[in-house]
Structure 1
Amino acid sequence: MSYLKPAEFVGVMIDAGESKAFMSTRDTVIRAFMAGAILALAAAFAVTITVQTGNALLGAVLFPVGFCLLYLLGFDLLTGVFTLVPLAWLDKRPGVNWRAVLRNWALVFVGNFAGAFTVAVMMAIIVTMGFSMDPNEVGQRLGEIGESRTVGYADHGASGMLTLFIRAVLCNWMVSTGVVAAMMSTSVSGKVIAMWMPIMLFFYMGFEHSIVNMFLFPSGLLLGGDFSLGDYLIWNEIPTVIGNLVGGLAFVGLTLYATHARTANPRPRPSTGPATRSEGPAENAART
């Protein structure tokens, strides 16, 4: 379980951001699609566990399996590229400009949404027996989540929007910490352990993750949740994307870069003169 020091894994972060900025459109979209799909399956898994056991903590403990799988397979989430790709621009890597950063973000967003929505349709088919019956318990729960985390915020107006935004900031603070934590180790076990902890935390705390929501809310709409597409976009997805960007970039990417890649000069040490020995009682007595 080899450990990389912060200065070393921050270099890995910058290299990863540069690589993603230059990745082909095809590869970027495929990797984003698979990341969105796998994370959506993990969310469906966690909701199913919670419904069937009545234990939300157990669902949160097991949810990170999806995140670990997609990371180890080399797939990309929007929340991760929010943190990594701008570091390559900040480090002045040749050819990395804001156009390349925004291109990567847009392609990953599209791919993540396509993957998550595909799984949402598949799960809707499963929980309604091919839309031939009312949703089962899991399907009903998916509809309730969509309603409580859209209309539930809207009922509180500006205060609800602020709460949504802060939950999104805290979410990607933890998710991006998981992305970075995986770079601290060179072993599979070390990466999994490091990723598991912050991902479990964000899910159990009910923080807002834009890609998980790309599954939960379309699922809710397909399964008869009492909210609209406009509610989903205005009272969840758009503020969540912005909050995820702020959380990952400000609290993980920029802070690690500032203190480990661009470390400030240390303060000067105080100069010390030659050591002097204080005279004891015997020396004082000899002088008299």
Structure 2
Amino acid sequence: MGGADNMTSLVKGPKEAYLVLAEKGRSLAGLMVRESSLKFFGQCFMAGCYIGFGAHLAVVISGAMPGITDENPGLKKLIFAYLFPVNLVLITLTGGVLYTGTAVATPAAFFERKASLLDVLRCLVLSWVGNLLGSLVFAGFILWCDLLDDRSQASFLSIAEKKTSARFDVTFARGIGCNWMVSMAVLLSGQAQDMFGKVVAIYLPISTFVMLGFEHTPANFYLLGMTVEAGDMSFLDVLLKNLLPTTLGNLVAGAVVVAGSYSYFFGNLGNTTTSEATEPFRRLQAQRSMGIESDVESPENQPGNDDPKRYTSRQSASSTCAPSISSRVSFVPEGEEGPDWDAIPVGKVTKVNPV
């Protein structure tokens, strides 16, 4: 916050945050075209590993307090929900790519005509596979480190049995509830402009879905994958009874509930016009937040615009100034006298006869 004449907000408005989200989706789709699918896949793989860090931390700590949590399941959920969002903080602030975030960002880009349907599908498939492999590799790493004791293994098995015991439609609905909150975490973190604000924006929605018992596809990759690698459950059971309905539910929440509704509120689906002047800056901001090399020049690199503030002020001034003498051109029928420009007050518009 600066002086009275130089005040800036550390929080974007909801419309701007949504448009930045759509631009992130465009950047995700463009990453595979401009650079390579391997780089995109690598970001997804790393995100799967970070999911493992937070998930394993939450299971180990919440399961290591039997004297406190056995008679107080709410406390156990609270501890788990407090520790789990560490992974989303790591992923969001380092430019990682999760399937759940991709399921809201790329459809938003599609609705805003920034990405094709094929690009959206490619991003969804690669993020799903990358998150899965990253989670499974990290689970193997934990086993290699011999960090899965009997109590932790029992906690993983208990979680897996609960997650695979519900009906297909129930798990599907829980997937919708989960990515509704995850998508809001992505949107809110885009509104905040400082690290503390982003962490808070991530923690609140993520803790909410964890405590309520909704289903998160990347988290289940690790929570259920650890059970599979420990030999307590088959991958086919995990896939059919949880991962498949959760994946579909997460997609519906991201693409329809959040991206679709906010596109109607603030974007193309609601026929809302957006300022083209700020489009390059939103694109630049979205790409930098994801660690992607920008294909848009920074304002300070624009020819003749060494000062971004001066550049934007010039743009604003040019859009509000009175017409110059050279621009005062009127087309009137031959033989008729044109308007007296000197008699027209500044800021007024006089209707002239068309040709």
TM-score per shorter chain, which class?
0.7 to 0.9
Q: Offset of 1:92 from its aligned partner?
A: 1.6
Instruction: Call closer, same or farther: CA 1:128–1:80 in 2, change over 3 Å.
Output: closer
Q: Measure the CA separation in 2 of the matches of 1:185 and 1:144.
A: 37
Q: Measure the CA separation in 2 of the matches of 1:110 and 1:264.
A: 35
Q: 1:127·1:138 contact (CA, 8 Å) conserved in 2?
A: no
Aligned to 1:72: 93
Aligned to 2:287: none
Aligned to 2:22: 14
**Are 2:142 and 1:115 equivalent residues in the alignment?**
no
Aligned to 1:281: none
**Correspondent of 2:218 among 204, 211, 215:** 211
**Correspondent of 1:137 among 127, 151, 162:** 151
Q: 1:36·1:114 contact (CA, 8 Å) conserved in 2?
A: yes
Q: 1:167·1:208 contact (CA, 8 Å) conserved in 2?
A: yes
Aligned to 1:27: 39
Q: TM-score normalized by structure 1?
A: 0.82
Q: Which amino acid aligns with 2:45?
A: F
Q: Which amino acid aligns with 1:144?
A: S
Q: Measure the CA separation in 2 of the matches of 1:33 and 1:109.
A: 9
- Unaligned stretches of 5+ in structure 2? 1-8, 70-75, 273-355
Q: Measure the CA separation in 1 of the matches of 2:204 and 2:47.
A: 19
The structure whose RCO (Cα within 8 Å, separation 6+) is larger is: 1
Q: 1:143·1:223 contact (CA, 8 Å) conserved in 2?
A: no
**Are 2:204 and 1:184 equivalent residues in the alignment?**
no
Q: Which deviations, in whole Å up to 9, do the C-alpha atoms of 1:188-232 show, x marking residues without a partner?
A: 11111111100011112221111111111121122232x322211
Q: Offset of 1:168 from its aligned partner?
A: 0.7
Q: Which amino acid aligns with 2:37?
A: T
Q: Measure the CA separation in 1 of the matches of 2:92 and 2:18.
A: 17
Q: 1:39·1:116 contact (CA, 8 Å) conserved in 2?
A: yes
Aligned to 1:282: none
- How many percent identity over aligned positions? 30
Deviates more, 1:233-242 or 1:141-150: 141-150
Q: Measure the CA separation in 1 of the matches of 2:150 and 2:145.
A: 9
Instruction: Call closer, same or farther: CA 1:182–1:128 in 2, change over 3 Å.
Output: closer
Aligned to 1:125: 144
Q: 2:111·2:260 contact (CA, 8 Å) conserved in 1?
A: no
Q: Which deviations, in whole Å up to 9, do the C-alpha atoms of 1:37-88 show, x marking residues without a partner?
A: 1011100100111111232311211211110111000001000011011222
Q: Measure the CA separation in 2 of the matches of 1:208 and 1:82.
A: 14
Q: 1:173·1:248 contact (CA, 8 Å) conserved in 2?
A: yes
Q: Measure the CA separation in 2 of the matches of 1:161 and 1:126.
A: 35
Q: Offset of 1:264 from its aligned partner?
A: 6.2
Q: 1:145·1:220 contact (CA, 8 Å) conserved in 2?
A: no
**Correspondent of 2:117 among 85, 91, 98:** 98
Q: 2:175·2:250 contact (CA, 8 Å) conserved in 1?
A: yes
Instruction: Call closer, same or farther: CA 1:142–1:124 in 2, change over 3 Å.
Output: farther
Q: Offset of 1:124 from its aligned partner?
A: 2.9
Q: How many residues align?
A: 250
Q: Measure the CA separation in 1 of the matches of 2:235 and 2:203.
A: 32
Q: 2:173·2:249 contact (CA, 8 Å) conserved in 1?
A: yes
Instruction: Call closer, same or farther: CA 1:199–1:128 in 2, change over 3 Å.
Output: closer
Aligned to 1:157: none
**Correspondent of 1:237 among 236, 243, 259:** 243
**Correspondent of 1:201 among 194, 198, 208:** 208
Q: Offset of 1:184 from its aligned partner?
A: 0.8
**Are 2:69 and 1:61 equivalent residues in the alignment?**
no
Q: TM-score normalized by structure 2?
A: 0.67
Q: Measure the CA separation in 2 of the matches of 1:87 and 1:176.
A: 11
Q: Offset of 1:148 from its aligned partner?
A: 2.5
Q: Offset of 1:127 from its aligned partner?
A: 4.7
Q: Measure the CA separation in 1 of the matches of 2:147 and 2:82.
A: 27
Q: Which deviations, in whole Å up to 9, do the C-alpha atoms of 1:226-281 show, x marking residues without a partner?
A: x322211110111110000011222211111110124468xxxxxxxxxxxxxxxx
Q: Measure the CA separation in 2 of the matches of 1:126 and 1:141.
A: 18
Q: Measure the CA separation in 2 of the matches of 1:73 and 1:12.
A: 17
Q: 2:169·2:245 contact (CA, 8 Å) conserved in 1?
A: no
Report which of the two has the higher share of helix: 1
Q: 1:3·1:184 contact (CA, 8 Å) conserved in 2?
A: yes
Q: Which amino acid aligns with 2:173?
A: I
Q: Offset of 1:26 from its aligned partner?
A: 1.8
Q: CA RMSD in A?
A: 1.7
Tell me the SS of whatever aligns to 2:231: coil
